[in-house]
Structure 1
Amino acid sequence: MNATLTSPILEVEVKDAVFQIEGMKASRPDGFQGMFYQTYWDTILAEVHGIVKDFFEGVVSPVSLNSTHLVLIPKIPCPESVSQFRPIGLCNYSYKILSKIMANSLKPHMPNLIHHSQNAFILGR
């Protein structure tokens, strides 16, 4: 398990993560939607893979990728108090790619990590 989780990230893993994430969500602090990454994937592939590789090797600081805008979305038409808003975080797309790669890497190991009587995070339980 350790060998697979610590192995170098392949370009195909990065591409899979990019195309698994919704492309038309609200723009992020970096100004890019997922559709940009998906449309111009062949052009930016090396750059994105480099960012991912640097992150997993500890070269890039998570602080620089972890910039997030918090936005309040009204729950009702004319909100009058803070409790009538729902906060959402708009993360950089690079951060979302990294998160998706980590989730995809952990997914095959989850049945061994989550007790058989629990059903969270295990598809089909």
Structure 2
Amino acid sequence: MLSKVKFLAHNNTLLHHVNQTPEGKFCMGNCTVYECGKPVKAKKMCSMHHQRWRRHGSPEITKVRQSSGPSDCKWINCGKTSISKGFCSKHYYIHRMQMMQNKPEQLPNS
């Protein structure tokens, strides 16, 4: 529930209005998505609906990220369960170190 409306101005120029919540926080209003009363983050939507809009093109779409079942390590002759990027913890560490060594060195700007 918003209690007060306050106007922010700079050099006597009206910038925008800000609502004050009962807790004393200021917000730009409420989310415009149906039955959502959360404070606005951007594009007249709350943080959750704004992220949905950015990811899926609509704030109404909800897609659950599905994880695949556990798989075996991609390393040859390793039967352990993969932890990250298809490798077990031991082989992921080795893979990561190899990738870091293969990258060209970043030289500081002179």
TM-score calculated relative to the size of structure 1: 0.18
More strand by share: 2
Structure with higher RCO (Cα < 8 A, 6+ apart): 1
Whose radius of gyration is greater, 1 or 2?
2
